[in-house]
Structure 1
Amino acid sequence: MSNRRVGNTRRMIRQTMTIARRDFIATVFTPTFLIFLFAPLIMGAFGAIGGVGALTVTQGGENRYRIVAIVAPEQGAVMKDLDGRLRRMFRASEKPPELQIETPQADTGAQARALFDAKDYDAQSVLYGPLDKPVILYGARGPRAADYLAELAEASLRAARSGGVAPLSTPTRTAISRERTSIGGQNQAAFFTVFGIFFLTLLLAGQVVSTMAEERSNKVIEVLAAAVPLESVFLGKLIGMFGVAILFVCFWGTLVSQIGAITPAWFAQGLKEIGPAVGMPIYVALFFAYFTMAYMLLGAVFLSVGAQASTMREIQMLSLPITIVQVLMFGLAATAASQPGTPIATFAEIFPLSSPFAMAARAANQPEIWPHIAALLWQTLWVAIVITIGARAFRRGVLQSGSGKMNLKAMFRRGG
């Protein structure tokens, strides 16, 4: 009896791997797989084009913004000099609008208001009056510009009273590099981890649905079910598409790992501060393990959905709720990544659907290893549960029967 059981198990494994190899080859060795493989590059190109267009429009508008100071020429020269120094503290995207100096007229109040209707530029904020009691007008987008003008007036007044704008100190700046990743870098790595697993599972697990829909429409699935047990078909398809996912991840992982070699030195130095708390080798292993769990969970669900639907429209309708739940899990895990150790983070790490994402983020921002062993065992249990339920739903969905293989053989005999 035991020998027969071992023989049945080996036969089931062999049949499962045959289905897996068939689906893997049928997917990879096609011209369309190259399009799928380079899909992130294509999406990134379209995103870059859109971003460049939006940036051009934004910069075109921002170049027309001004902050204006209506002051005497000697005060204007001081303000210009101080403005040039203060701007060094801002990033390019955060700098205030360009400062423009205007000579006072008889009615400076009316002059200041008239500047908001200028045709050559858009005034965000206008300063006039004595520097010890300046009046600052600002529009809807000008509160920060008004604060900047107030500080500029204060600095100009202090410079005038101290005898000039020459700096009174000579700082020595020394750049240092961290020996380990920063806390902020760990939090950034945690978010990138959650997003990476979410993006990969959503992109790759959905391929299972289209494969199932195609084979259901041309009756191939019924031929497979007549030859091997449906459980072997289910697991084989899941493993075969997971092999495709591994190929995809290895290809892009290799490319991403070489970014530091082609980026400027300052950018590569900044990347060194972004890293996982557990160390890179362990992090890579855990990322792969949690991606596997997330893919198996979502892939089994998608495969079960594909077995229930007979048309692409039905698949889209059934897949939408799953995708919405997946997005919610991404939001929950991203929140947990930004708030490690909180109750919401603990809930996200325990809840089966969000656990792979949240625990992967934990690997990035917390150095303990033992929670990952427990989490992987917990997730493995749920993967087994989901695959078991999915296989049964697959059987019912494909053949509308609890004992589909025998029914198909009987149908073929009647047809013969």
Structure 2
Amino acid sequence: MTRFRILLRQIWTIARRDFVATVFTPTFLIFLLAPVVMGSFGAIGGLGANAASKGADAKTRIVAIVDPARGTDMAALDQRLRRLYRVSDEAPPVLQTETPAADPARQARARFDDPRMDVVAVLYGPLATPQILHTDRSARAGDYLAALAEQALRADRSGVAPLSLATQTVVSRHAPSLRGASASGFFAVFALFFLTLLLAGQVVSGVAEERGNKVIEVLAAAVPLESVFFGKLLGTFGVAVLFLVFWGTLISQASMLMPANFAAGIATLTPAIGLPLFTLLFFAYFTMAYMLLGAVFLGVGAQAASVREIQLLSLPITLIQVAMFGLGAVAVSKPDSWISTFAAIFPLSSPYYMAGRAAQSGGLGLHALALLWQAVWVAIFIAVGVRAFRRGVLQSGSGSFRWKRRARPLDNAVDMGVS
């Protein structure tokens, strides 16, 4: 058996061991259903915030203090202008018209102190020179009342009835829109960040736990440490792929149950490179992002000797992931700037940015080069982590890199003891 085949066999043995030890446990079911728990808390919080927001919006008003005849015209114009706003847009508050009192200015100021409703803007006076009062955060509501007064004056000349009747026809694009490509780019960066944040952290706890119970030292005595690290990385990656397959299958089957507006929003995500090829590239960059972060976490986690040290390492690990997400998102929004070049070259942010770039522009040559560049850094991170583990934990001298063993009996021993 050649040395390369021995190396692959050792890596496969370690990967299979870690995969089986993780998947065939009761706790793996909890890990697999973690998005349900996270989504439930998010949904509960979102529903509560939405209910509170709708309750406040239902009592929010803008007021026009005008004559009754003028108020009828302004109400009709208000209904026409509101057709320009969609459900997702921030439409102005409900318009309420009132008859002027003896002192309209005092009447307008008194409306802001009404305990029955939340008035954010009030118009009074002649429509040619209206006076508009609004709160410090309701400048848009004041602008809307000004536009309504302008339209009311124009209606005096032409009438309130519409002067034209447009026919609108829906057409489909043959090429992805810039907005759809940009949205797809940000979605790719966010999805990559979410998946790596959820899945890559398990590498740290696994290697730190085995260091605490001396298992990793037994493995290091049987096979090269490089094989141990790379095998553990592949094993946890296999768990991540199983997680993706499980949830990808559920989401694809549940897409038919999604609301129409949500499905329409998903349909606007049109990658410039095409959906099938973009899916392949996204998985490739997820693989590289997981491998890069996993290699870093392996090296860091191998230095932790207790659960407390793992907890102390959780914060900087999370900050690294958040920083890479922020860098990738900014670079995707500015594709021709120096920050995009830096994000493409820096190994930890390269998968994030390149996944977003795949959604915004075509061409495969740059992606092949980026994947090769990221794979080189995976090997570098593993090698550095192994050397640090030899020097700091095993204290085995120089910590030189070793990818081969001279003694075949140890290879046979790991097959019997680990598989």
Take 2:122 and 2:260, find their aligned partners in 1: how far apart are those partners?
41
Structure 2, gaps ≥5 residues long: 400-404, 411-419
Per the alignment, residue 413 of structure 1 pairs with none
Q: Deviations over 1:328-380 (max 9, x none)?
A: 12111111111122222122111212111111111110112111111112112
Per the alignment, residue 3 of structure 1 pairs with none
Take 1:231 and 1:111, find their aligned partners in 2: how far apart are those partners?
79
Take 2:398 and 2:18, find their aligned partners in 1: how far apart are those partners?
24
Q: Which amino acid aligns with 2:387?
A: R
Q: State the secondary structure of the residue aligned to 1:287.
A: helix
Q: State the secondary structure of the residue aligned to 1:131.
A: coil
Choose the corresponding residue for 2:165, options 145, 164, 170: 170
Q: Deviations over 1:220-247 (max 9, x none)?
A: 2233233333222212111100111111
Q: Which amino acid aligns with 2:108?
A: A
User: Structure 2 vs 1, CA of residues 245 and 382 (structure 1 numbering), >3 Å: closer, same or farther?
Assistant: same
* Pairing 1:380–2:375 present: yes
The answer as to whether partners of 1:82 and 1:152 remain within 8 angstroms in 2 is yes
Q: Deviations over 1:48-78 (max 9, x none)?
A: 1101111111121122111111111111111
Q: State the secondary structure of the residue aligned to 2:362.
A: coil
Per the alignment, residue 270 of structure 2 pairs with 275
* Pairing 1:115–2:111 present: yes
The answer as to whether partners of 2:334 and 2:340 remain within 8 angstroms in 1 is yes
Per the alignment, residue 351 of structure 2 pairs with 356
Q: Which amino acid aligns with 1:256?
A: I
Choose the corresponding residue for 2:306, options 307, 311, 315: 311
The answer as to whether partners of 1:180 and 1:273 remain within 8 angstroms in 2 is no
The answer as to whether partners of 2:344 and 2:350 remain within 8 angstroms in 1 is yes
* Runs of 4 or more consecutive aligned structure 1 residues displaced over 6 Å after TM superposition: 403-406
Measured after TM superposition, the shift of residue 270 of structure 1 is 4.0
Q: State the secondary structure of the residue aligned to 1:211.
A: helix
Q: Deviations over 1:114-144 (max 9, x none)?
A: 1111121121111111111111111222211
Per the alignment, residue 337 of structure 2 pairs with 342
Per the alignment, residue 42 of structure 1 pairs with 37
User: Structure 2 vs 1, CA of residues 168 and 105 (structure 1 numbering), >3 Å: closer, same or farther?
Assistant: same
* Pairing 1:329–2:328 present: no
The answer as to whether partners of 1:66 and 1:98 remain within 8 angstroms in 2 is yes
User: Structure 2 vs 1, CA of residues 117 and 269 (structure 1 numbering), >3 Å: closer, same or farther?
Assistant: closer
Q: Where do residues 11-410 of structure 1 align in structure 2 (5 Å cutoff)? A: 11-92=6-87, 93-162=89-158, 164-258=159-253, 260-265=255-260, 267-402=262-397
Take 2:374 and 2:212, find their aligned partners in 1: how far apart are those partners?
34
Q: Which amino acid aligns with 2:184?
A: A
The answer as to whether partners of 2:120 and 2:141 remain within 8 angstroms in 1 is yes
Q: Deviations over 1:302-348 (max 9, x none)?
A: 11111111012212323432332332121111111111222221221
Q: State the secondary structure of the residue aligned to 2:41.
A: helix
Measured after TM superposition, the shift of residue 265 of structure 1 is 4.8
Q: Percent identity?
A: 63
Q: State the secondary structure of the residue aligned to 1:99.
A: strand
Structure 1, gaps ≥5 residues long: 1-5, 410-416
Measured after TM superposition, the shift of residue 90 of structure 1 is 1.5
Measured after TM superposition, the shift of residue 258 of structure 1 is 4.3
Q: State the secondary structure of the residue aligned to 2:173.
A: coil
Take 2:95 and 2:279, find their aligned partners in 1: how far apart are those partners?
49
Paired residues, number: 401
Take 1:270 and 1:319, find their aligned partners in 2: how far apart are those partners?
35
Q: Which amino acid aligns with 1:123?
A: V
Take 2:270 and 2:250, find their aligned partners in 1: how far apart are those partners?
18
Q: State the secondary structure of the residue aligned to 1:94.
A: coil
Take 1:178 and 1:266, find their aligned partners in 2: how far apart are those partners?
19
The answer as to whether partners of 2:273 and 2:359 remain within 8 angstroms in 1 is yes
Take 1:267 and 1:114, find their aligned partners in 2: how far apart are those partners?
42
Take 1:191 and 1:256, find their aligned partners in 2: how far apart are those partners?
20
Q: Deviations over 1:234-270 (max 9, x none)?
A: 1211110011111112222333344543335554344
Q: Deviations over 1:166-211 (max 9, x none)?
A: 1111111112222232111111111111111122122211101111
Take 2:21 and 2:292, find their aligned partners in 1: how far apart are those partners?
23
Cα root mean square deviation, aligned: 2.1
Measured after TM superposition, the shift of residue 102 of structure 1 is 0.9
Take 2:179 and 2:254, find their aligned partners in 1: how far apart are those partners?
21
Say which is worse superposed, 19-28 or 57-66, in terms of deviation: 57-66
